Structure 1
């Protein structure tokens, strides 16, 4: 995740995923703002998921770090069988309201599924929080040979002045300080996946006054603030809305979705067969 990551919660996290105490607090902050997260955050464009999964239907798809199921819902709408796994019971409670998605409490570092049990693992806005040394072997373990790992991040287009002002408020002194999170070296060093391919898709997220406030509340940097400071940030966000919006028209927040895909390597396939049996297709 990145300070000039317009999405705010995808800035460069430590490679062990957990990081220091402040980083860990941010990682654990989403459950308390699950409703705001679901209302304020954008979905993912279907074209992005089709690029990762292919044009067909009926794959068994694991949405890992699924949160409230924004990405899982897109996969289900495309005709896939989806299970959403997340460590936050609060986030999954929101996810369970969506049709066509099974849910399970669990972590990327210890996935509660059998060896070779899914055709795809997708991760939206969450891979930077993982302990990669533990999570990548688990992802490779549950993927079938020929399966696919897809990583997605929504990043707001801060070239637009009012969008830039919003994220300057949300990210404070950290805004613009580091590059966006790059999964390429982490994936390559694991030897468990083929070289990552990448693509970018453009989309928009419509927000009214309440939606913009919920977007701000859902960001980990804001969620962990003390009440007085958080209220100041939210007041600043509302002031930007006052100076920018033209009700009843919604604010159209522009986003880029950056996507990456890779397949299990031959080493991962060999390691899986040695470690345990392959689960049958359901």
Structure 2
């Protein structure tokens, strides 16, 4: 993990917004894993940096057994409250570099919306350790579209103007050359899927405040940011909703 951005702590006071307003992952992504890579519900899944369990739920809904590894206690507790009644779900207080899982114990490691916070070399070693010899690793993001509509472009400009460390965080997302290098000779490819949310203003506000770089109440940037968000919504909304659009991208490979 990267200490200077306090990656295991920075979402602690945003859990409620994260649970309510962050996007899920498209079923098409799981179907692609199944059709392209032979992933099936007999596989044991380790969801690393699982947060509040959004990515875990995709696999639980597909009939998989999922172990959610999450170091942030408020987020882990939220996942347990949401998904804990499912007997195929368990959580572990662990890090990407020290999951606490047994050697060669999982068939699929997935990191969804979390990989950019990891010490990636150390995480690769840990994933190698816990994966079975035939196991698969998958790295996924819901990547917000930055251009294409007046709302998307206005939202990006708002984050650049008011975000606390938005540029530092945004630049950490991986692209195909970086992930190809990380997987090395085991790289198998990528999938890309359209995804999105239809948000009223309250949901848009919650979606913004779920982001770790959005200034909180009391920060002098907070009220001007909220005013700008209201203006952007009023300018761009249709039927009292805006379309918050993503490309869901997943990279897959083995870790020889």
TM range (shorter): 0.7 to 0.9
Of 113, 117, 141, which aligns to 1:129?
Answer: 117
Q: What does residue 56 of structure 2 align with? A: 72
Of 159, 162, 165, which aligns to 2:154?
Answer: 165
Of 208, 212, 236, which aligns to 2:204?
Answer: 212
Q: Scaled by the length of structure 2, what TM-score is found?
A: 0.85
Q: What does residue 101 of structure 2 align with? A: 113
Of 26, 31, 40, which aligns to 2:21?
Answer: 40
Q: List runs of 5+ in structure 1 lacking aligned partners.
A: 1-16, 266-282
Contact 1:52 1:148 in 2 (8 A): no
Matches within 5 A, 1:1-282: 17-18=1-2, 21=4, 23-24=5-6, 28-53=9-34, 54=38, 56-96=40-80, 97-98=82-83, 99-100=85-86, 101-158=89-146, 159-172=148-161, 180-182=173-175, 184-185=177-178, 188=181, 194-223=186-215, 227-247=219-239, 249-265=240-256
Q: List runs of 5+ in structure 2 lacking aligned partners.
A: none
Hey, what's the Cα distance between the residues in 2 that align with 1:133 and 1:246? 45
Q: Scaled by the length of structure 1, what TM-score is found?
A: 0.78
When the two structures are aligned, how many residues end up with a matched partner? 244
Provide Cα deviations, 1:114-149, integer angstroms capped at 9, x if missing partner: 001111011111101001121110011111111111
Indicate how the Cα distance of structure 1 residues 85 and 223 shifts in structure 2: closer, same or farther if over 3 A, else same.
Answer: farther
Indicate how the Cα distance of structure 1 residues 220 and 27 shifts in structure 2: closer, same or farther if over 3 A, else same.
Answer: farther
TM-fit CA distance, 1:70: 0.7
